[in-house]
Structure formats: structure tokens, C-alpha cells
């Protein structure tokens, strides 16, 4: 009984101790209508070898982004991760360590989190960053709650160019807080004008740059208008490599920057785990969720690291906590930190330039196809094509032929008529000229 260590006698003794005749008694408060009257329709238990074979067969049905030409994006991007990243994070002192409950003896963990924070603050153009969040979506929801605390208001204006999954996480989180969410219409052709939605009750404006459709904009005028109403500007970045080529949000007047850090050091992994980035102005630091690691010296003048701030519910703050997110994505943050360190500034900007150049070449070839319209005036490595017919079936057909052509707009916005013919295409340094040529030829055969 490898996985079931309790014997029938053990269970009998436990039931007698609590005064129950059977295990069924433990579920008596569950209504009968909510209980199953027969076993779930699943295969019976099998041996370890048989289970491995069955799971391997299931896994073989997946088409991984690394096995065929892939142009998938929409918030999760395939980039080259050096083998040294995976090698280093598997060292036992990193892989098996958890959270620094005793910070003074977790110097290694605190140091890499400090370095991670420094990198995030630098690329976002902000003054302070925390030790990571779960992912970009929850990080953004936490930013909205932080804006409520800072401004003592409850209205958030959400750009139509924000990734719909991020929008939904904000809505779910904000519902319990009594948030007033004003969500702008979906605008595939640019970042819609949000100025009319901002008033004296607005706590924050949330805008993604590049937008979910790949549009790039200078947010400086928007920041000025937001600040004039006493509100905060939250800028969301889902493709962190874009900050190697674009003006950082901090330089455009952002008050809070949230991002998905997956592109740096973290593989796609069929959707996670990922790492959320969070940066803000120093004056708002005490309202920032999560942890903040700091650098200091000990009584002998030696460099050391401390947990400067930990305003979370598991510590002493409880109902006064700034967040109920219980920990940081430590191993993914370490992967980010190692990859960023290996690249350095020149490498980071170099990868960004390569992404943009490859995307421009692909966009030119794809938009030259009959009936295909490129909606972007400016983009980084992801752009939106309007096809002459619905994109969903085309994507399915190309996937069956071994080409992951991108994300159809209908996947992100089901029921939106305008989204049906839209195709989001992401091009990174991992895409070869042959990959692009194969996509062009395959798409030409479908339209």
C-alpha cells in the first residue's frame, strides 16, 4: 500500500475516536442530491508502469510550441532560455528552499530576490519593485486594489486593449471589494481614448502597452490627464522583452507597472507556473503588496540582506495586510534573474531588436497576401491581422498541418463579431525564416 498507509484497523480506530460509525457519516452535511450515487467513470487503479504509459500517450497528443513553427502569443511567449538557467535553479539550495520566514539565515534567497527587484525596477523605469507575484494577471488585480487604498476611491477605468484574462481577474477580485469597473469597448485598431471616462471618482486607469492586439503607444498624455484627476496610471506589460526596445512605463508617467515575466527565463510549460512583476513609485511603497528585500550591512560592516517589508496576511498584519497573496514565485523569479544576468543590458536590448526585426519582416509578408489587412501602425513583436474569413477554423486547419499560426480573436473575445476574423501573430527570436515562409504559404492556402 505504497500511497495508502492507513490500514482498515487504523480507520476503524479513528472513526471510533470521533464517534462515527463509517466514513459516510463524515459527509452527512452534504445534501444527498450533491453526492455521487456511483463511482466516477474513470479507469480502475493500475500499476505504476501502466499509469506511466497511459499518461505518456495522453501527453503525446499535445503539440508543443517547440516542436513545430509556432506564432502563438497573446500573453505567453516562446523565447530561447539558456540551458544554464535550468541547471542553476536545480541546485538544491535553490530548488528545495521555500520562503524566508527566518530572513537572517536565508541570505542567498534574499540576495537573488534583491537582484531580481533591482532588474525589474530598472527595465520598468520605476523606483521600487517587489519580490514578485504569482503572474501578470493577479499582479494587475493587486495593483488596482493598491490604487483604491492610495486614492481612497473605488472606480477603475479599464482599457479595451487590456488582455481579457487580466480584465476578468480584476473583475473577480474587485467584486468583493465593491469596485466600480468601467471597461472600455474592445478596440482592435488602437488604444481607445479613455479621457472621457476619467473623473474625480476615478482611482486608476489600467492600460496595456503593447496592447493585447499589439498596438504601441506613448502614454505620456494619458498619464498627465489621469494625474490631473488625482488618479493613478497602471501600465500592464505582457511581453517583458518589449521593454528592451520601448520607452519604459516609468518614463511615461506610470504610477504602477505590472507585468508577466515569463518571457525571461521561464518556459511556456503549457500555461505555468509564471512570475508576476510589480513596480511602483517609492512614495507608494508601503501600499505595495508582497515582499520587499533590502540591502544593508551588519555590525561588522559586511554586506547583508534583509526582509525590509512583508505586508502580507501570513505575518502580523492580518486584516491590515495589503495583499492576500501568500508568497512570491521564488523559483521563477530566480530563473528570470539568472537569464537577465546572463544577457545583461546589451543582450536584453539585442533580443528585443531581433524580435522586432523578425516581426516586421513577417508582418510585411503576411499582409501582402490577398484580403489580409494589418491593423497595427506600430508594434513590437506581435501584431493583428484581419483575415477575409473567420480565423478560428483557419488556425485549427493549420495546426493539423503542423503550423501554430497564432491566436484567433474569437478565442479571446467569444461572441464579439469584429473579433471573428482577427488573428494575433507573435514572432520571436526562435522563429526562423523557414518558419515564416511556411506560415505565409500555409495561410495563403486557406484564404
Q: What is the mean pLDDT of each run of 10 residues along the chain (447 residues)?
A: 77 95 92 89 89 93 90 97 96 83 82 96 98 95 96 97 97 92 88 85 97 96 96 98 98 98 96 95 93 91 89 61 76 97 98 98 98 96 98 97 97 93 98 98 95
Q: What are 195's strand-pairing partners?
A: none
Indicate whether 254 belongs to any domain. Answer: yes
pLDDT at 326: 67
Closest to 374 in 3D by CA, of 215, 230, 260:
215
Does 197 share its domain with 313? yes
Helix axis angle, 433-444 to 330-367, nearest 10° = 60
Indicate whether 200 belongs to any domain. Answer: yes
Indicate whether 74 belongs to any domain. Answer: no
Three cell numbers written together for 92 = 538544491
Could you tell me the residue range of the domain that residue 38 belongs to? 8-59
* Torsion, Cα of 265, 74, 162, 356 (10° steps): 70
Does 100 share its domain with 234? yes
Three cell numbers written together for 240 = 517583458
pLDDT at 314: 54
Does 37 share its domain with 114? no
Indicate whether 362 belongs to any domain. Answer: no
Indicate whether 314 belongs to any domain. Answer: yes
Compute the Cα dihedral for 159, 163, 166, 172 and give only its sign: positive
Q: Domain holding 231: CATH number?
A: 3.40.640.10
Does 167 share its domain with 238? yes
Does 98 share its domain with 24? no
Indicate whether 436 belongs to any domain. Answer: no
Closest to 398 in 3D by CA, of 445, 338, 341, 331:
445
Q: Please tell me what DSSP assigns to residue 234.
A: E
Does 309 share its domain with 218? yes
The number of domains in the chain is 2
First CA to last CA across the chain, in angstroms? 58
pLDDT at 247: 98
Q: Please tell me what DSSP assigns to residue 253.
A: T
Does 156 share its domain with 285? yes
Does 19 share its domain with 164? no
Does 218 share its domain with 184? yes
Rounded CA-CA distance 359/426 in Å is 7
End position of a domain, from candidates 340, 374, 400: 340
End position of a domain, from candidates 340, 369, 393: 340
pLDDT at 3: 64
Q: Please tell me what DSSP assigns to residue 337.
A: H
Q: What are 323's strand-pairing partners?
A: 312
pLDDT at 6: 86
Does 44 share its domain with 163? no
End position of a domain, from candidates 305, 340, 375: 340
Does 15 share its domain with 101? no
Rounded CA-CA distance 11/401 in Å is 54
Q: What is the per-residue burial (b if ≥16 Cβ within 10 Å, else e) of 104-143? A: eebeebbbbbbbbbbbbbbbbbbebbbbbbbbbbbbbbbb
pLDDT at 318: 65
pLDDT at 320: 72
Indicate whether 148 belongs to any domain. Answer: yes
pLDDT at 313: 53
Indicate whether 168 belongs to any domain. Answer: yes
Does 168 share its domain with 33? no
Closest to 370 in 3D by CA, of 395, 392, 388:
388
Amino acid at each position: 500500500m505504497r500511497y495508502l498507509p492507513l490500514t482498515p484497523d487504523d480507520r476503524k480506530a479513528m472513526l471510533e475516536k470521533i464517534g462515527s460509525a463509517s466514513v459516510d457519516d463524515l459527509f452527512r452535511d452534504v445534501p444527498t442530491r450533491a453526492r455521487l450515487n456511483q463511482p466516477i467513470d474513470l479507469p480502475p487503479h493500475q500499476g505504476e508502469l501502466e499509469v506511466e504509459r497511459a499518461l505518456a500517450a495522453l501527453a503525446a497528443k499535445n503539440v508543443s510550441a517547440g516542436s513545430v513553427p509556432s506564432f502563438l502569443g497573446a500573453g505567453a511567449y516562446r523565447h530561447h532560455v539558456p540551458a544554464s538557467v535550468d541547471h542553476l535553479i536545480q541546485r538544491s539550495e535553490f530548488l528545495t528552499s521555500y520562503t524566508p520566514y527566518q530572513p537572517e539565515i536565508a541570505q542567498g534567497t534574499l540576495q537573488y530576490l534583491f537582484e531580481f527587484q533591482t532588474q525589474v525596477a530598472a527595465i520598468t523605469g520605476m523606483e521600487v519593485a517587489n519580490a514578485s507575484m504569482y503572474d501578470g494577471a493577479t499582479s494587475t488585480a493587486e495593483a488596482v486594489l493598491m490604487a483604491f487604498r492610495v486614492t481612497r476611491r473605488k472606480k477603475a477605468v479599464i482599457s479595451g486593449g487590456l488582455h481579457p484574462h487580466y480584465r476578468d481577474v480584476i473583475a473577480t477580485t474587485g467584486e468583493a471589494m465593491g469596485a466600480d469597473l468601467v471597461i472600455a469597448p474592445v478596440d482592435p485598431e488602437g488604444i481607445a481614448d479613455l479621457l472621457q471616462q476619467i473623473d474625480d471618482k476615478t482611482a486608476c486607469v489600467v492600460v496595456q502597452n503593447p496592447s493585447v492586439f499589439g498596438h504601441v503607444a506613448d502614454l505620456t498624455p494619458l498619464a498627465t490627464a489621469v494625474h490631473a484627476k488625482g488618479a493613478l496610471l497602471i501600465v500592464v506589460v505582457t511581453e517583458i522583452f518589449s521593454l528592451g526596445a520601448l520607452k519604459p512605463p516609468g518614463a511615461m508617467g506610470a504610477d504602477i507597472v505590472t507585468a508577466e515575466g515569463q518571457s525571461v527565463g521561464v518556459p511556456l510549460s503549457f500555461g505555468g507556473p509564471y512570475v508576476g512583476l510589480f513596480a511602483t513609485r517609492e512614495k507608494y511603497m508601503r501600499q505595495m503588496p508582497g515582499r520587499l528585500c533590502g540591502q544593508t550591512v551588519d555590525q561588522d560592516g559586511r554586506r547583508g540582506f534583509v526582509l525590509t517589508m512583508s505586508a502580507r496576511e501570513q505575518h502580523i498584519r492580518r486584516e491590515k495586510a495589503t495583499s492576500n497573496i501568500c508568497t512570491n514565485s521564488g523559483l521563477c523569479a530566480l530563473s528570470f534573474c539568472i537569464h537577465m544576468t546572463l544577457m545583461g543590458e546589451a543582450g536584453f536590448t539585442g533580443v528585443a531588436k531581433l524580435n522586432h526585426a523578425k516581426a516586421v519582416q513577417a508582418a510585411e509578408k503576411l499582409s501582402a497576401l490577398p484580403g489580409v489587412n494589418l491593423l497595427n501602425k506600430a508594434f513590437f513583436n506581435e501584431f493583428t491581422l484581419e483575415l477575409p474569413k473567420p480565423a478560428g477554423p483557419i488556425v485549427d486547419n493549420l495546426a493539423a498541418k503542423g503550423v501554430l499560426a497564432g491566436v484567433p480573436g474569437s478565442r479571446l473575445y467569444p461572441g464579439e463579431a469584429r473579433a471573428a476574423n482577427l488573428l494575433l501573430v507573435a514572432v520571436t527570436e526562435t522563429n526562423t525564416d523557414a518558419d515564416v515562409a511556411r506560415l505565409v504559404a500555409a495561410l495563403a492556402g486557406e484564404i
